[in-house]
Amino acid sequence: MPKLTEPELYHIAEKISAHAMKHENYEAGWDYIAECWTDREIVGLIGDADVLTYDDGIGAMQQVVDLYSERKAEAEAEIF
């Protein structure tokens, strides 16, 4: 399976960061990615996941968003 070069991964990571900053995505749990993840960290995750496209990258990061959102909801439930 072909792998993307580091510049190609960074290009996808920049697009993922922009996706996270969009209001509708930011409010849908992507705030964690927008506020806490650097492009370098995103490149590490999508590189390890053998991402080849932007859509694959969004899918890989969505798994992180879903996990964070689940943990956040659990923590909030314990507070109240």
Please write the tens of the pLDDT for every residue from 13-37. Answer: 999 999 999 999 988 999 999 999 9
Domain ranges of the chain: 6-79
Residue 77: burial class (beta carbons within 10 Å; 0-12, 13-18, 19+): exposed
Token output for 31: 């705030």
What pLDDT, in 10s, does the model give residues 43-73?
Answer: 999 999 999 999 999 999 999 999 999 998 8
Predicted structure pTM score: 0.89
How many helices and strands, by DSSP H and E, does the chain display? 5, 0
Copy the structure tokens of residue 77.
């439930």
Q: Tell me which residue has tokens 């209001």.
A: 23
What pLDDT shows up at residue 1? 67
